[in-house]
Structure 1
Amino acid sequence: MAITDEIKKTLSDPTPLYALAGAGDLAYEKLREVPGKVEALAADRKGTQEKATAKLQEAQSRLVDAQAKVAGTVSTLPADLKELQEKAQSFALAQVGRAVELAVKAKEAYDELAERGKGVVDRSRPAEGAPAAVQPAGAEAVAEEPEPVDAELVEDDETAAEAEEPAAGPTAKKSARGRKSAE
């Protein structure tokens, strides 16, 4: 029987009906305010339209001013565009000529450096039949095939070198050996 009691209590409770009546009253109240808001919006709309019209007229006047400025600027441009084109062409041709001139100078400098380098290489190579001592100091000897060295001659040369340079120390022995093996 608890269920029947609950149903009776729910149906006899007027709270949902009161909520529905309150919502209807609130809707009626808000609908009564609508005509006043519509009139306010209409008045605002008229003011907004007037402001928009004023801004449009201002923008149109600025556009007319800008068009006048552009027309004035265009009229100050050189009347003879062909003359301007010819000047640009002659300038471009002059720059091309200058670039060619610089390229010729660069080629000449390159050729001079190559000739100089050839001379340096030729001087650093020993002439056929010439002793290696003719070479500049520090130049590497270029030999096609090393000749066999007699061990007795090397020892004799080392002792002779030591006798000639007694104060030089151990580094002199190494340099004397290096010179002999390079020959």
Structure 2
Amino acid sequence: MKIAQDIFSKYGYKKTTLDDIANAVRKGKSSLYYYFDSKEDLFQAVIMKEVDVLRRELEKVVLRNTDPVEKLREYILTKLTTYRGLANFYHALENDVTAIEFIDNIKDKYDQEEIRMIKRILIEGVRKNEFEIYDFTLAAIGITTAIKGLEMPMSAGNYGAVNLEKGVDNILKILCYGIMKR
């Protein structure tokens, strides 16, 4: 799985062949077919592994016993930091493999999980009288959408070299306090 993950990450889904992976693990292609029905099946296993890594890291943050604002900060920071290391999941979400049906299913499921986790942080913030939110679902959708908008520039784009913590702190100030002069 690790070698397949590395090869898919390096060459992308379309350019990677099962022969490439079989050669890298020094096995015959038939050995791969023993465990996986197709290249798509193997790629799906790699993506699911990466999704599980991201989910576990984010769940750890949500379960921490910290202030809700700090928890939101750590959530965004953890997502962006972890996302930088999950090249296959990132490329699958952003690039041309969206034609593969399972990617769309993963996106939908992952989006719902992310909204649920952010909503949990927001509810905690209201209970602790730190946030004032009237529609938790809408607020969670807005925050997850904002985070998604940051993924590309903060992970691989123009801001990929920017200090991630400083960038997240600046974005969090905007999310929590707005842009209005006070």
> Same fold judged by TM-score > 0.5?
no
TM (normalized to structure 1)? 0.22
Greater RCO (CA < 8 Å, at least 6 residues apart): 2
Larger Cα-atom Rg? 1
